[in-house]
Structure 1
Amino acid sequence: MADILSQEEVDLLLSAVAEGELAGEHRDERALEGPRHTMYDFRRPERVSKEQLKGLQSLFEAFAREVSIVFPPFLRTVVRVDLVSIDQLTYDEFILSVARPTALTVVNMSPLEGNAVFEYSPTMVFPIIDRLLGGRGMALSEPRELTEIENRVMARITLMMLDSLRRSWDQLIEFQCSIVTQESDPLIVQIVAGSEMVILVGYEIHIGDIVGSLNICVPLVVLAPVLDQISQQAHFMRKMPPEQEALTRATIEHTILKAKVPVDAILGETVLPLYEVARLQVGDIVQLDSSPERPITVTVGGVPRFLAEPGRQREQSAVQLSGFILD
């Protein structure tokens, strides 16, 4: 026989049910609000974590610093390389974003399996070639495909880039990169399937007054074996304390200020045919392009920096600085 509830138990049960209904209403209101959703595109899966991107940014910034150090003496002008972006996208999206014609170099990323692509903008390529071939580093009004000689010049530039890449990544992996091929049409460069994800690293390169761009496209499958190491490297990176940073900066500045730099006073220059040079003898007079009324140029480390007047001080030749030469 079932138990019969007393009036007091019935009242308690009714109050509990009433409270449960109120709680249920609050739960329903919260359920109606719902969780916040984030859009996810399965056609473009982002497979690189924030820690890995931070580690990649540190490595590619180190590469930019290496290039900024190596190229000024080679190009005889100021070179600055700035990292502007690191993106994840499909290989098709990268290829479709590249202008034609352009300068593309396919690079083997040994010991990693696979290739990467270095894409140089025409505004960067032609000033470099012009400067290396004796010009002043002028850009072309209309981009065009590179000649065989120009491709060889850019191959040398790429090898210098790869050497800088090797030094900037040497704590993580010992690269032995090499050039596979050079192309001008991006549509015929197929290093992975079009749907494969790639890391696209964008740089802005200042060469004197010229500004160009460099893009490095590395497939994610190529970087996959070292992504975990990159993540760990980013995790253990710590910002240098302000006191230690100031001490390090002062030490570097003190060391640099003690470095010896060659200073040359150029009295003048001239150009002679080779047959005249072959016939030069002691006592011959060579006419220079300077005159006694004009100041001479003083170079520091091979770079023109000052104007000066030649003269003597006691028993030695000397120059008196009269002005600066601005870049």
Structure 2
Amino acid sequence: MAEILSQEEIDALLSAIGKEEAPQELPETLIEEKVSIYDFKRPDKVSKEQIRALKNLHDKFARNFSSKLSGFLRTIIEIDVASVDQMTYGEFVLSLSQSVSFNVINLYPLEGSGIIAIEPDIGFVLIDRLLGGFGTTFQNIRPFTDIEQSILLDIVNLMLSDLKNIWAPIAEIRFEVTAQETSPNVVQIVAPSEVVVLIVFEVKMGDYKGIINFCIPVITLEPILTKISTHDMLSISRKEHVNRVVNILQILDNVLMRIEVYLGDFNISVENFLNLKPNDIYILHKNTNEFSEVYCNGVKKFEAKLGKVKNKKAIKIAKLTF
């Protein structure tokens, strides 16, 4: 038979339950802690500092190339870096239109290839301008023909020459077009899951604008990836400036300059001037002990004394004038 509790025992049990400790609350630090989402299938292989350095590098390229392309097409071209991101090669291909000018670029001596993709909205504008038009596009976008691809090749080669100069402080890369296609699905330079760096250039010409993509697989950049950083770019930029000054001075060493010395003046009538003959002597309005002005390419730079060295007329620089 079950034991029946008395009223006193029931009261004791109820009072014991009321004295039990309440569950402890979690510390505020644990509650407020932020969690960063990380996808282990798509690790960031290029640091934010390297992405920033690549953007600075190609900002400089965009300025140089816009000037060169403006002169080449004889019209005003504006080029800006729209973005620099890392993504998978499959995502890059999906982001392109189906009628893109797809140029495969060899990056010798690096192992692998890159991509320069010109979207049709700006590609046809460039073709029209190269063929003597005002730079207009078609209403209905269609795939590029082989002839149009060869015309755009001039633009791509012009772009590659500037890219070679911009990348020279990091690595001597020889950019060369190895294939041209009109569809991004025809050529696959790496596996779709491989991470690539995508530099997107926005090109403006008149009322038209479009995109040129420059894609480089990270696996191709790995041998020189450690050289790409904001600090290294800054030191390279300073070194380039010093080298450029030295090069300019070396070039100027061989430049010929016209030197003229002003000896003095005198007044003469037109009749006497027309009757001048050898051994005629006229007195200048200047003493022999006065300074003579020396002009370099028409600009007064020095004052000098007149004299003679080994039976040859000469001047001795006395002071610099401004």
The TM-score by the shorter chain falls in which range? 0.5 to 0.7
**Distance across 2 between alignment mates of 1:141 and 1:34:** 55
Alignment equivalent of 2:219, drawn from 215, 221, 245: 221
CA deviation digits over 1:120-171, x for unaligned, max 9? 1111111111111111111011111222221111111111000010111121
Q: Which residue of 2 aligns with 1:250?
A: none
State the partner residue of 1:62. Answer: 60
User: Which amino acid is the alignment partner of residue 215 of structure 1?
Assistant: N
Q: Check conservation: 2:119, 2:210, Cα contact below 8 A.
A: yes
Aligned to 2:125: 127
2:74 alignment partner, one of 76, 86, 97: 76
Q: Are the counterparts in 2 of residues 102 and 144 from structure 1 also a CA contact under 8 Å?
A: no
2:259 aligned residue = none
Contact 1:109 1:175 in 2 (8 A): yes
Q: Identify which range, 191-200 or 137-146, moves more after superposition.
A: 137-146
Gapped regions of structure 1 (runs ≥ 5): 1-24, 241-327
Of 57-66 and 82-91, more deviation after overlay is shown by: 57-66
In the alignment, the residues of structure 2 paired with residue 130 and residue 77 of structure 1 have an alpha-carbon distance, to the nearest angstrom, of 12
CA RMSD after TM alignment: 2.4
- Equivalent residue for 2:37, pick from 21, 36, 39: 39
Q: 1:190 matched to which residue of 2?
A: 188
CA shift digits 1:12-39 (9 cap, x unpaired): xxxxxxxxxxxxx69x525752742211
Alignment partner, residue 8 of structure 1 = none
* In structure 2, C-alpha distance between the alignment counterparts of 1:238 and 1:66, rounded to whole Å: 17
**Percent of paired sites with the same residue:** 38
Contact 2:99 2:119 in 1 (8 A): no
Partner of 2:137: 139
Number of residue equivalences: 217
Please point out which of 185, 201, 204 is paired with 1:203: 201
Q: Match for 1:117 among 90, 115, 118?
A: 115
Structure number with bigger Rg: 2
CA distance in 2, matches of 1:223, 1:108: 13
Say whether 1:178 aligns with 2:176: yes
Match of 2:165 among 164, 167, 170: 167
Q: Cα distance, 1:235 vs. partner?
A: 7.2
Residues 53, 234 of structure 1: alpha-carbon distance in 2 compared, 3 angstrom cutoff: farther
In the alignment, is the contact (CA less than 8 A) between 2:88 and 2:196 conserved in 1? yes
Match of 1:151 in 2: 149
In structure 2, relative to structure 1, the CA distance for the partners of 1:30 and 1:181 (3 Å cut) is: same
TM-score by structure 2 length? 0.63
The 1:65–1:127 alpha-carbon spacing in structure 2 relative to 1, beyond 3 Å, is same
